[in-house]
Amino acid sequence: MTRFLVRRAIWILITLWLVYTFSFFLMLSVPGGPMSSERSYPPEIEKMRRDRFHLNDPWPVQYWHYLSNACYGDFLASQVLNDYEVSEIISEGFPVSATLGILAMALALVLGLSAGIISALWRNSLLDVMFRSLATIGIAVPNFVLAGIAILIFVFQLKWFPAAGWGKPIDMVLPAICLAAPFAAYISRLTRTGMLDVLGQDYIRTAYAKGLMSSTVVLKHAVRGALLPVVSYLGPAVAGILTGSLVIERIFFLPGLGTHFIEAVTQRDYTTSLGIVMVSTALVLVMNTLVDVSYQLLDPRIKLK
């Protein structure tokens, strides 16, 4: 296990460096820059504005400048939001995205798992058909469409929730639901399949034969076996929730990392976009490692090397 973790850590570092380098040169090769504006300035002022961020230096010099600072965790100042350091932008945006992501994940798990278990236990019942259709819709409908419908119904018809914004607990409800929906749908499908698979196995029959209560059989024996595909889906799901939140954050006007990332990229704020790319990449890599580790915890037959 320790060897596995050390090797993983080295790979994560190499991957981060590659992602950094690739994003850096990709970004600089796109025309335009953080200083582009409709208004042009006298060359002297233009030079000074660019000098401030080393933009007049050749690429390798800039790359070295940014990379060497990034190694110390300093992503320098934002090139567009002049009053802020990139670290300030990330530390303000991350809690918003993380809160939204965790709530959506929890919601997706609770809804998905319960719907999946119910569907499997009452297979082919009306409830099963209903959950399955809902899941199909949930997967098929992109979350911005869902958000639109949710706003129409819950904001303008029922007037239950605010249209957008960030500041009160109630502000999180609609975005978390919209973000969670497709994942809940997918998880319910995975759970249902997993459960059906497990319920037909010998050890479940044995458990029933021993005279255990069916709730004990289901929750203690069956669910654990059915959980494995769901857990392996968690890695991609976290990545999905991170990228999915770009759209949701924008629609619901949440000042999360997704919003900052979109803005930084469109405004060519090199330092900020690089900083956010790094944080997100690190997060996805770490999440994947955690998922791999959890396999072993759930199923002792799996050994990590």
Q: Please give the residue ranges that form the binding site for another protein (CB under 8 A).
A: 30-33, 36-45, 47-52, 77, 80-84, 88-89, 92-93, 95, 98-99, 102-103, 105-106, 109, 151, 155-156, 159, 162-169, 172, 224, 231, 250-253, 255, 259-260, 263, 266-268, 294, 297-298
> Which CB sits closer to another protein, 127 or 298?
298
99 DSSP 8-state letter = H
- Whether the Cβ atoms of residue 34 and residue 269 lie closer than 8 Å to each other: yes
57 DSSP 8-state letter = S
- Whether the Cβ atoms of residue 127 and residue 117 lie closer than 8 Å to each other: no
> Which CB sits closer to another protein, 77 or 277?
77
Spell out a b/e string for 163-194, using b for 16 or more CB atoms within 10 Å of the CB, else e: ebebeeeebbbbbbbbbbbbbbbbbbbbbbeb
Q: Cα Rg for the chain, rounded, in angstroms?
A: 24
Q: For the chain, how many residues are written?
A: 305
Residue 75 CA to residue 246 CA, distance in Å, equals 21
Residue 132 CA to residue 142 CA, distance in Å, equals 17
Nearest CA to 175 out of 138, 146, 134 is that of: 146
User: Least Å distance between CB 106 and another protein?
Assistant: 4
- Cβ atoms within 10 Å of 15's Cβ, excluding its own: 14
Q: Which amino acid is at 237?
A: A
- Cβ atoms within 10 Å of 287's Cβ, excluding its own: 17
User: Least Å distance between CB 268 and another protein?
Assistant: 5
- Cβ atoms within 10 Å of 130's Cβ, excluding its own: 13
User: Least Å distance between CB 45 and another protein?
Assistant: 6
User: Least Å distance between CB 246 and another protein?
Assistant: 13
User: Least Å distance between CB 273 and another protein?
Assistant: 13
User: Least Å distance between CB 136 and another protein?
Assistant: 26
> Which CB sits closer to another protein, 67 or 162?
162
**What residues are paired with 85 via a beta bridge?**
77
Residue 47 CA to residue 30 CA, distance in Å, equals 20
User: Least Å distance between CB 37 and another protein?
Assistant: 7
> Residue 44: helix, strand or coil by DSSP?
helix
Residue 223 CA to residue 104 CA, distance in Å, equals 21
> Residue 30: helix, strand or coil by DSSP?
coil
User: Least Å distance between CB 49 and another protein?
Assistant: 4
